Structure 1
Amino acid sequence: MTTVTVRLCLDRLRRRVPTPEADIELPDTAPDPADEMESAETLGVALQAVIDRLGPRERVAFVLHDSFGFEFATIAEVLDTTPPAARTLASRARAKVRRPAVEDGPADWEVVDAFLAAARHGEFERLLELLAPDAAVGADRAAVLVGTPHRIDGREQVATFFNGAAASALPVFVGDRPGAAWFDRGTPRVAFDFVVSGGVVHRIDFRAEPALLGRLVRRAGDRRREVGRR
């Protein structure tokens, strides 16, 4: 994916027409290099903060279409999907970029990682804080066959199930959503598909269908923050 994206970017840059020297207007005074460096650093931090709000596939669709102007048919080939799906990914990413970050609420990945940390450390009260009152757990047939419960209803029941568990769960993207997966000797066995809204977990689905497990993407787990403990 990185190689394809880099090649596409280089091709676009090579096709750019240079501006004739006669058309270049020089400023009366040269800019201060320190100011330029500070501006570039600030822009880089802001850009990273925006990009962090997008899933991997959303990032590719958004950058290739909105920044480089590639058609959705080309983006679909890069992402191994259909043009309408690529258009949807770009549209979803665009909406996230334009929507200001909520100062008082944590990002979905923060909630997911805080939940997993509380589960590992047996912090029952913390789990209750991170679960919606009507929280539920579900599972697909493949997950049930490997030993997960079919369904759990209620905040206390879900917290009890996860309390002291999830020791082998690692952070992943389930589609474009932050989630986790149970790994056995480096191989994902069950994905934890989280539904997060309003800073709390509303639902967790155990999913073990091979097609989904094969598309899981590991995400950095070293950016965790304690949700609600700032």
Structure 2
Amino acid sequence: MFHDGEEAARMDGDRQAVYERERPRLLAVAFRILGSDADAQDAVQEAWLRYARADPAEIRNVPAWLTTVVTRLCLDSLRRTREYPREEPARAAAGDGPEEVALLASELTDAFAVVLDELTPPQRVALVLHDAFGIPFDEIAHVLDTTPGSAKKLASRARGRVRRPAEPPGADPGEARRVVGAFLRAAREGDLDGLVRLLDPAVTRTADPQALPPGAAQRVGGARAVIAETRALRATAGRARPATIDGRPGIAVRSGRDLEAALVFRIAAGRIVHYDVIADPRRLALLRIED
């Protein structure tokens, strides 16, 4: 039997283990809602402090509880620091079928500039939680303190505001595949000159925390910073293959039959302007991949 002090230490250890397991997913959620590494870190740290103070007997589902706390902290942060348009009348946006939802989910990260300006905080939360992480609308409704029907309408309105073509008008899918294939070869071989030719000078890279070493930024910008990041790809190059991911040019990294990570690219004028490294299991499960 544990003494009081031993029992408290065991419970603290259990909480720490749970938090460390859930932290990468929480950072991925917070980053995609807030668009900022620092703000995401702050939200997840505050959630940990609240979890450490909470009564475990009152928490039925720890991952869901932590997701709710982090998301509400993100909502509070958005409402404090930014001006947003007023809510529109409830209406469904055209084209909310599974294919359209999947396509938009792959656009969420490089659409941050649009999202920040054009979505209200509830719209942004509903869109990110459902389309990027597959969280059901009844859970999202609990987070937003609304009904599942209203949460669904919020996500629908958000899609209507940020939906855009996967590639610029007139983009050649064959050219995009060529660029991605060349990127993978250059990364495998450590060909820095080749990478410079393929990357737009203002290229950005975003990534789930599961794909990064501890403390690494989820968002980096500029060709030099992004080229430095490609060193990690060399370690997995043997398992990486070009693929079409939700209709976008990409790279799939597999371990046997299991999908380990996916890189989704945005190409313009023959150069890579953005790519997102997806490694969160919930996001990976939503991808449609054609090798």
Larger Rg: 1
Scaled to the shorter chain, the TM-score interval is 0.3 to 0.5
Which structure: greater helix fraction? Answer: 2
TM-score (norm 1): 0.46
Higher strand share: 1
TM-score (norm 2): 0.38
